[in-house]
Amino acid sequence: MSELEADVVVVGAGLAGLTAARGLVAQGASVVVLEARDRVGGRLLNHDIGGGQVVEVGGQWVGPTQTRALALSDELGLTTFPTYDEGENVIEWRGAPKRYRGPIPRIGAHVLADTLRAQRRLEKLARTVPVEAPWLTPDARTLDSQTFDTWLRANTLTAGARTLMELATEAVWAQEPRDVSLLHVLFYVQSAGGFDDLIGTEGGAQERRWVGGSQRLALEMAAALGDRVRLSSPVRTIRHGEAGVRVTTRSGTTAHGRRVIVALPPVLTARIDYDPILPGQRDQLTQRMPQGTVWKCMAIYDEPFWRADGLTGQATSDVGPVRTTFDNSPPGGSPGVLLAFLEGDHARRASTISADERRRMVVGCLTRIFGPRAARPDGYVERCWAEEEFTRGCYGCAMTTGAWTSYGPALRAPIGRIHWAGAETATRWSGYMDGAIRSGDDAAAAVLAAL
């Protein structure tokens, strides 16, 4: 047990919390960061695969319009490299795998046209959403009264288009179209700048990766913050009032400050005890922002054999349970790493089987798509953040129907001396590393103005 004192207490050493702390320190404020885990980075985590190489078992990509993340990367002296994207992609579609080049899969023209028309309609609607206040969208109630599934049924003619959009939904939210409010989908698309920005590799959110792994963003910031960051310090209670804040960890460490920034997934912010307690509006908002579900699985081979075969390693499948793959090899291409996602319902079902069964299932999908050389990986790594006490789901969260229109203003509004940060509170690139960093900037600015 110890007593700490700072101008600002930050809860959570993910990108949002660390960025906020960094910004505050740069402006001369004193800061203490309380992190529940024995490491920093939150949903960013490098995994050592030997030979000085890492793969990320959490968030990893950055796209060209994620300018805040790229700027921070520069400031920290980090470098990025392109996601391997040379050759042909594969799609399993109504039968055997087919190869194709570029972003448009080789499937029936009417399905493609139907899909593109739906995407265009979606983007047109998305442009009506003010990202700072989605509840002020024209006809917000109607948009927030239906699931994305309902909208897709009304706005596609082909089952194929619905399947493609379902694949995209799983890839972006790790949820199913029925899990998500249409208004949230529109907000998210607008927050990212467009649908292709979300799902694209080249030009999109999956374009580049960090040399040394994405967690380095967090590790470098934490190193500069030094002993301001306290690990293994899960916050249990936040007392707040006129006199300031008193934040206490499970083990009894107490940090006193003038303000507190809580930089956790919204659902987890409600698992802290507040004194006085949070208003009902804020608490009930957190009951309506469920986290997604994804198993991120990587099979490791001596070399990226699919490259010699003319393949990018990117595959899409309407069969599943692995529905999306990527080449996730380190910069030099050695070893070869195939990344396979189980998302949404596929991930939920995968959580009910044993680790051995899951590995067999994933490797089986890779073998079906990439051939017999995929059948015997040298290594296998997997992670499901729903099973992690201090994340409880990935990639991020998605508002359920009604949440934005009934509770939206409670998402970002400070409560007395309590400020909120985290990818989910961002207006630009909400749910992404870029959004998390921006939310840290915003929280730091708001706190500095109030100190």
CA–CA gap between residue 5 and residue 357 (Å, rounded): 49
- Outline where 3-90 has alpha helix (H): 15-26, 67-75
CA–CA gap between residue 445 and residue 22 (Å, rounded): 11
Does 206 participate in binding a copy of itself (rule CB under 8 A)?
no
Residues 341-380, mask of contacts with a copy of itself (x by CB under 8 A): ----x--x--xx----------------------------
Does 393 participate in binding a copy of itself (rule CB under 8 A)?
yes
Give 136's DSSP letter.
G
Q: Which of residues 177-196 bind a copy of itself (CB under 8 A)?
A: 177-179
Q: Which stretch binds a copy of itself (CB under 8 A): 75-83, 118-126, 374-382, 401-409?
A: 401-409
Token pair 């050592």 is found at 48
Q: Which stretch binds a copy of itself (CB under 8 A): 23-31, 56-64, 282-290, 305-313?
A: 282-290
DSSP assignment of 284-329 equals: HHHTT--B--EEEEEEEESS-HHHHTTEEEEEEESS-SS-EEEE--
Does 290 participate in binding a copy of itself (rule CB under 8 A)?
yes
Q: Report CA dihedral (192, 195, 198, 201) to the nearest 10 degrees.
A: -130
Does 279 participate in binding a copy of itself (rule CB under 8 A)?
yes
Does 147 participate in binding a copy of itself (rule CB under 8 A)?
yes
* List 117, 402, 415, 445, residue binding a copy of itself (CB under 8 A): 402
CA–CA gap between residue 222 and residue 103 (Å, rounded): 38
* List 131, 386, 415, 451, residue binding a copy of itself (CB under 8 A): 386
Does 334 participate in binding a copy of itself (rule CB under 8 A)?
no
- Outline where 107-193 has alpha helix (H): 109-126, 140-144, 148-155, 159-173, 182-192
Nearest distance in Å: CB 53, a copy of itself = 28
Q: Closer to a copy of itself by CB, 79 or 351: give it.
A: 351
Q: Are strands 259-262 and 418-420 parallel, antiparallel or unpaired?
A: parallel
Residues 57-96, mask of contacts with a copy of itself (x by CB under 8 A): ----------------------------------------
Does 174 participate in binding a copy of itself (rule CB under 8 A)?
no
Q: Closer to a copy of itself by CB, 172 or 311: give it.
A: 172
In sequence order, what are the residues at sequence separation of 6 or more whose Cβ sits closer than 8 angstroms to the Cβ of residue 75? Answer: none
Q: Closer to a copy of itself by CB, 235 or 300: give it.
A: 235
* List 401, 427, 430, 439, residue binding a copy of itself (CB under 8 A): 401
Does 400 participate in binding a copy of itself (rule CB under 8 A)?
yes
Q: Closer to a copy of itself by CB, 2 or 287: give it.
A: 287
* List 67, 281, 334, 367, residue binding a copy of itself (CB under 8 A): 281
Does 213 participate in binding a copy of itself (rule CB under 8 A)?
no
Contact 89, 316 (CB under 8 A): yes
Q: Closer to a copy of itself by CB, 62 or 272: give it.
A: 272
- Outline where 246-287 has alpha helix (H): 266-269, 280-286
Q: What are the tokens at 136?
A: 């002020």
Nearest distance in Å: CB 317, a copy of itself = 20
Q: Which stretch binds a copy of itself (CB under 8 A): 122-130, 142-150, 204-212, 309-317?
A: 142-150
Which of 358, 369, 375, 376 is CA-nearest to residue 309? 369
CA–CA gap between residue 445 and residue 451 (Å, rounded): 10
Does 288 participate in binding a copy of itself (rule CB under 8 A)?
yes
Which of 197, 137, 222, 100 is CA-nearest to residue 432? 197
Nearest distance in Å: CB 140, a copy of itself = 11
Q: Which of residues 233-272 bind a copy of itself (CB under 8 A)?
A: 236, 250, 267, 270-271
* List 74, 75, 302, 389, residue binding a copy of itself (CB under 8 A): 389
CB atoms within 10 A of CB 394: 26
Does 35 participate in binding a copy of itself (rule CB under 8 A)?
no
* List 97, 406, 414, 451, residue binding a copy of itself (CB under 8 A): 406
Q: Exposed (0-12), middle (13-18) or buried (19+): which is 286, by Cβ within 10 Å?
A: buried
Q: What are the tokens at 268?
A: 């987890």
In sequence order, what are the residues at sequence separation of 6 or more whose Cβ sits closer than 8 angstroms to the Cβ of residue 9? Answer: 31, 32, 33, 34, 245, 247, 255, 256, 257, 259, 260, 261
State the residues that interact with a copy of itself by CB under 8 A: 141, 144-147, 149-150, 175-179, 236, 250, 267, 270-271, 273, 277, 279-281, 283-284, 287-291, 293, 345, 348, 351-352, 384, 386-387, 389, 392-393, 400-402, 405-407
